[in-house]
Chains A and B, each alone.
Chain A
Amino acid sequence: MAEILLDIRNLHARVEGKEILKGIDLTVRRGEIHAVMGPNGAGKSTLGAVLTGKPGYEVTEGSVTFAGEDLLAMAPEERSWAGLFLSFQYPVEIPGVGITNFMKTAVNARRKAQGLEPMKAPEFLKLMKEKMALVQMRPEFSKREVNVGFSGGEKKRNEIFQMAMLSPVLSILDETDSGLDVDALKIVAEGVNSLHTPETAAMIITHYQKLLDYVRPDIVHILKAGRIVRTAGRELVEEIEREGFDKF
């Protein structure tokens, strides 16, 4: 079996005093694609937020190990440098900050943390161009402000673009399929699939099976009321689609 990348043990977390995660156990190995499915309010997005260190989410019990390190002890930026990436359900608009400057700052901050020199401009622009092509973004895209005035589909493609730029070891996609038409969904799926290697892993958090038609999960979890109530292979997706979450 491949090496364990993410190990979540008995994770409890609360938001504004309310316990949302009530003891999650989940193990992701390199090369695997996991789907975390569940009804609204199950704690799916909270799981993504806790793993990326969003302020306001308090871990009250349990542990999370990422590539052998204590993930919960790291600041959000350190988690990114370690290779964690979250595709936001609601990507944030940053007026006045251009995408090129934003990405350059992000890429070079990580290089600095790794003891590397900043990336040279031609090399950086080549990388931008290549990754924009991956999500079918037109050249003007690089001149826009981060997510400002973007359509729903553009925002999600921008998330996958950033993911491609940062080439994470573990990508968490939080409801990336919500609000996407089939064309945008395919672009997102192709992006995710093309970045997948035996060394990397992905966790797809979703309500529907839509994205899972294009990105095939190896392992499927059902999250309900803050606990994982079932873990199985991809056949579980069809079972949920047929019978809903109620029976679990």
Chain B
Amino acid sequence: MGHGHYIEPAFGREVHRVGAGERLDLDFVILPGQPRDLRIEVDLVGEGAEVNLRGLYLCPSDEQVSITVILHHRVSGCRSSQLFKGIVGGTAKVRFDGTIIVAPDAQQTEAYQENHNILLTETALVETSPQLEIYADDVKCSHGATVGRLNEEEQFYMRSRGIPEAEAKILQMISFLAPVTSHLPETQAAAIESALRSIL
């Protein structure tokens, strides 16, 4: 069995326990002008449990966003994947803390976490801190975090084909976010695109 939902991110905690053979999918979107302090805790408590967390945040002005994820693999044979992507500009501040804990008994764990960010301005700030605490020995775990900028070579290439600079940046941002937006309902994806257009 599987269940999934789209969470309306708020100031608060999302706490989930996923049992044997269950699957949980959680997605969130933080649109411009929404300061948030979100904490997601997931416990994988039954064998073969699976969780997929995905989120994106658009913080182009002066938003303060904090995202904390604590993912606990308590038993063996569970799988978790996390993908969070953000575009941060103006004087916005984003903090991401992601902890994966793999308990001593949680053998054959698979746990993946990625957090990627694009900064639009010099004054925007992203602090990303992924942490792995692994107490089992038979595990596959990886995490990655990046903070980068929109690629100017790509922009010039597009502009040389007649795509205006702003449109080139929107194409870049849409493709950057695509791994998250492709899992979202159509209406959400449309809201994100229109938010991106209003950023520039």
Whether B164 contacts A88 by the Cβ 8 Å rule is: no
Q: Say yes or no for B152: interface residue by CB 8 A criterion.
A: yes
- Which of B153, B157, B167, B176 meets A109, CB within 8 Å? B167
Whether B176 contacts A105 by the Cβ 8 Å rule is: no
Interface size class of A (residues with CB under 8 A): 20 to 34
Given the complex of chains A and B, what is the CA–CA distance between A105 and B166 in angstroms? 12
**In chain A, what residue has the closest Cβ to B152?**
A55
List residues of B (148-164) whose CB comes within 8 Å of A's CBs.
152-154, 156-164
Given known pairs A76-B156, A97-B171, the reply for A162 and B161 (CB within 8 Å) is: yes
Q: Can you list 11 A-B pairs with a CB-CB distance of less than 8 A?
A: A52-B160, A53-B160, A80-B162, A92-B157, A94-B154, A94-B175, A96-B175, A97-B171, A102-B163, A106-B162, A109-B167
Given the complex of chains A and B, what is the CA–CA distance between A91 and B160 in angstroms? 11
> 1/0 per position for B127-151, CB-CB distance to A under 8 A?
0000000000000000000000000
- Which of B163, B171, B175, B178 meets A77, CB within 8 Å? B163
Given known pairs A105-B167, A109-B167, the reply for A86 and B160 (CB within 8 Å) is: yes
Q: Say yes or no for A216: interface residue by CB 8 A criterion.
A: no
List residues of A (110-158) whose CB comes within 8 Å of B's CBs.
110, 113
- Which of B158, B159, B164 meets A102, CB within 8 Å? B158
Q: Chain A contact residues: over half helix, strand or loop, or mixed? A: helix
Whether A77 contacts B164 by the Cβ 8 Å rule is: yes
B171 to chain A, nearest CB (A): 5
- Which of A52, A95, A109 meets B164, CB within 8 Å? A109
Closest 10 interchain pairs by CB? Answer: A96-B175, A80-B162, A92-B157, A76-B159, A106-B161, A110-B162, A77-B159, A106-B162, A109-B162, A97-B175
Q: Say yes or no for A75: interface residue by CB 8 A criterion.
A: yes
Given the complex of chains A and B, what is the CA–CA distance between A131 and B149 in angstroms? 34
> 1/0 per position for A78-109, CB-CB distance to B under 8 A?
01110001101001101111000110011101
Whether A75 contacts B162 by the Cβ 8 Å rule is: no
Question: Which of chain A's residues have a CB closer than 8 A to the CB of B157?
Answer: 88, 91-92, 94
